[in-house]
Copies of this chain bind each other. A is one copy, B any other.
């Protein structure tokens, strides 16, 4: 919490396990609310290490970073597009954004794996992934032994995102069975996709990570709903960015505003939070600054919640409603032989 004097308490009081010796696992989890160093991936990784170290210092076992923390979320940009036209400046903006993205695997992935191992945390990190000349909004997961586990690519970018990110497929919607529970990630408005969430529930997700860029109050309603619907802990991490976290104009301009924001203006106000399976808010939402939000997750809450409602178990009606998830990778071209 050192980064955020206005933040909430480092460790939320979790009422439901007070005074009880339930024999259930408790996991200390930290959600990072911080800004990318835009166009500077090495500096962003340095900042990530500092934040991971701080969380580990509090005893956190799981650290979740915001959507595209590595690579950055281009708030206020339009990449020079209006319908039917595009600008040279916008194309060059994209070239720089492409340059700040990372290959998976690649040296930045190796560094992140090493950080997870060094600080002994399960690390969930949002990145901009570069696959040739198409970029993806991707989340990487690493275990506390420093092993890179895999990635989730956002299935469907939202609105303008569709002009700079490609679309994921069914081959990268993992849930990892870890000593801390079953952990998976769903990105931003993917969280509004009921079929994708159901796929995650079917994979048994217990700690549901929702890195996002949505700052509206209604986002908290969705997070609460998902906790209830899925009977899982929901952790949502958003960036808190000020204008000065982006290059100054004219290199980087904020569109859709009457005037250029001042350097200290918040251009993304966070809203990170942690919610229990019964819909109790354990930490956040914090809208005031960069912060680490930490809570102890009593995993026994999951079974207590699923007693009432198990969305893919006793409360499902598979003979009426059945979802099929196609998990094969989709390639325009495959080479065989």
Q: Which residues of B contact A81 (CB under 8 A)?
A: 78, 159-160, 256
A303 touches B94 (CB 8 A): yes
Q: Which residues of B contact A92 (CB under 8 A)?
A: 20, 22, 300, 304
Within 33-84 of A, Cβ neighbours of B (below 8 Å) are at: 73-84
| A14 CB, min distance to chain B CBs, angstroms | 13
Instruction: Decide yes or no whether A111 CB sits under 8 A from chain B.
Output: no
Q: Which residues of B contact A165 (CB under 8 A)?
A: 314
Number of interface residues of A (CB under 8 A): 114
Q: Which of A3-11, A128-136, A138-146, A285-293 contacts B (4 or more CB under 8 A)?
A: A128-136
Task: Please give the count of copies of this chain that the complex contains.
Answer: 6
A94 touches B304 (CB 8 A): yes
A326 touches B336 (CB 8 A): yes
Instruction: Decide yes or no whether A178 CB sits under 8 A from chain B.
Output: no
A159 touches B155 (CB 8 A): no
| A335 CB, min distance to chain B CBs, angstroms | 5
Q: Which residues of B contact A192 (CB under 8 A)?
A: 228-229, 309, 311, 315
| A323 CB, min distance to chain B CBs, angstroms | 5
Query: With the chains together, A50 CA to B156 CA distance in Å?
Result: 42
The 0/1 profile, CB within 8 Å of B marked 1, for residues 271-305 of chain A is 00000001100000000000000000000101111
B74 touches A308 (CB 8 A): no
Q: Which residue of B lies closest to A173 (CB)?
A: B320
Query: With the chains together, A61 CA to B312 CA distance in Å?
Result: 37
Q: Which residue of B lies closest to A202 (CB)?
A: B333
Q: Which residues of B contact A95 (CB under 8 A)?
A: 22, 24, 300, 303-304, 307
Contact of A323 among B162, B195, B256, B330 (CB under 8 A): B195
B224 touches A228 (CB 8 A): no
A134 touches B310 (CB 8 A): yes
Q: Which residues of B contact A222 (CB under 8 A)?
A: 221, 224-225, 228-229
| A173 CB, min distance to chain B CBs, angstroms | 8
A312 touches B332 (CB 8 A): yes
Q: Which residues of B contact A160 (CB under 8 A)?
A: 81-83, 160, 163
B134 touches A196 (CB 8 A): no
Query: With the chains together, A232 CA to B314 CA distance in Å?
Result: 28
Within 95-112 of A, Cβ neighbours of B (below 8 Å) are at: 95, 98-99
Instruction: Decide yes or no whether A322 CB sits under 8 A from chain B.
Output: yes
A82-B76, A220-B221 are known contacts. Are A322 and B328 too (CB-CB below 8 A)? no
The 0/1 profile, CB within 8 Å of B marked 1, for residues 177-203 of chain A is 000000000000100111111110110
Please give the residue numbers on chain A whose beta carbons come within 8 Å of chain B beta carbons, in ascending order.
Answer: 16, 20, 22-24, 73-88, 90-92, 94-95, 98-99, 131-134, 155-156, 158-167, 169-171, 189, 192-199, 201-202, 204, 213, 216, 218, 220-222, 224-226, 228-229, 231, 254-256, 267-268, 278-279, 300, 302-328, 330-337
Q: Known pairs A81-B256, A222-B224, A319-B319. 4 more at Cβ < 8 A?
A: A79-B83, A201-B333, A202-B333, A202-B335
